[in-house]
Amino acid sequence: MLDRRIDHITRKRVSEMTPEEMRHALLMSEKAGLPNRRAFEEEKGSPWVAMADIDGLKALNDHFGYSAGDVLIRRFSELLVNVGLKAYHDKGDEFLLKGESYQELNEKLAQAQTLLDNEPFAVCGIDGRIAIIPGANFCFGIGTNLEEAERSLKRQKELRNIGQ
């Protein structure tokens, strides 16, 4: 990545942005196509929040390349929205969600888990070959604030590791 002080093309593009374009750039995750953590924090709060973390993204990236991981991130983002969740991309393979109840988040995330696990998807490998990935999985934690959701997510990951 070029240093922003010497990346004249990016500096020119940013200087020509309208305020709306600038706000969009500041509040959106290009990789996921979702609002980002800053948008999560700036928007109205909700009684319940969740954190989700895609399983095995590093292994997918290592085996097939970063473009495969990007496909999974985008696919997961779209799936979260399609099941009716208010989703935000935090960073890497981590997502934040808002909901009105524990039950709402739990049911919709369980639905997303089933769909992601049972729907194969294609990626282009490092060697240029197309590979079909049989599905993917993720862990999630729910709480009344991000700290609780993060603790819950950590417990879910620990339980999953015990069962393996």
Q: For the purposes of burial, counting CB atoms within 10 Å of the CB of 74, is it exposed (0-12), middle (13-18) or buried (19 or more)?
A: middle
The whole model's pTM is what? 0.83
Q: pLDDT digit string (tens) for 113-145?
A: 999 999 999 999 888 899 999 999 999 999 999
pLDDT at 87 over 70: yes
Q: What is the pLDDT of residue 122?
A: 94
Contacts of 147 (CB under 8 A, 6+ apart): none
Q: If one looks up domain 31-163 in CATH, what number appears?
A: 3.30.70.270
Least confident of 7-21, 61-75, 76-90, 149-163: 7-21
Question: Could you tell me the residue ranges of all domains in the chain?
Answer: 31-163
Q: What is the mean pLDDT of the chain?
A: 89
Q: What span, in angstroms and rounded, lies between the C-alpha atoms of 66 and 68?
A: 5
